[in-house]
Amino acid sequence: MKTAMIFPGQGSQYVGMGQDLVQNFPRAAAIYEEADDVLRYPISRLCFQGTPEVLRETRNAQPAILLHSLAVAKILRQEGGVDPAIVAGHSLGEYSALVAAGVLDEMDALMIVRKRGELMFDAGVKQPGTMAAIMGVKEEDVQDMCSEASGNGKIVVIANINSPEQIVISGHIEAVEKAMKFAEEHNAKKVVALNVSGAFHSPLIAPAQEELVAYIREFSFNDAGVRIICNADAKIIHRREDIIDALSRQLTSPVRWQESMEVLLKSWDGSVMEVGPGRVLTGLMRRINRSRAVQSVGTVEELEKVVAPEIEMA
């Protein structure tokens, strides 16, 4: 069975994530055990029994979400015969997509993502910033608000274009707050400050990106075995050089999720699965194209609906 696989990013984590997978699938148990050894700290215990506050930290949330997504993808492929035909991932989720496409080794991706989370966390400490979601305002109007709110050394930019109804902005706290006020005055449907530790996908995170790119180049990348839609350009790429280039721009570039999903739906007319924790991307797809359903696959119950009776439970 072939399907499009889309992988969630930060914000989809929850305490207890992956525990049912480990309890029911030996393959999941093995990958969590290997992750504990590779990272040299009990990421599995953090996922299963940690506090929401600690799990929410960027340096913890990123490897936890990646690990969950990798476990589900492995079960789908090896026990259910479900393979990706085209993949995409939201920000952090792009690394899960690269593993699914055969570009990166699982544990290499985990090490990169752990480093990514640490660098982003540190960047947020050194250069404080924040993010906010704006609903019900057109992209060009949000861009105008960001331009108007920026000045005197403070900036705010568009960070995520998630759907026609949802755009996320990022930057210095003062500038983001000004843009939020402009959005409210513009009769936005909703303006929400995000609980994040930095101005991700903005120029404020540039130092983290520079160090991450140097770290990434220590690992082995392959050409993709299936089509990958990258965040930075919302284009399909295959070559390892193009993939590394896209990753080198990802942290400071907007996540072009709406465009990415439009490319996916034009390129693929089969099923679409959100692989990993939560249903954030499933909800965004409803706002992008209501005619194309997404099947969330992140728990044992959801897996059984996709691959049973082929799977053999532990």
Catalytically annotated residues: 91, 201
DSSP tag of 23:
H
> Which phi and psi angles does 235 have, rounded to 5°?
-125, 155
143, 229 in Cβ contact below 8 A? no
Phi-psi region for residue 151, left (φ > 0), alpha (ψ -120 to 50) or beta?
left
Are 74 and 29 in contact, with CB atoms under 8 Å apart? no
The sign one gets for the Cα dihedral 177, 178, 179, 183 is positive
Going through 63-109 in order, the beta strands assigned E by DSSP cover 83-89
Kindly list the strands in the beta sheet with 166-171, ordered across the sheet, starting from the edge strand earlier in the chain. 156-163, 166-171, 130-135, 190-193
Report phi then psi at 128, rounded to 5.
-55, 140
| Cβ contact 116:62 at 8 Å | yes
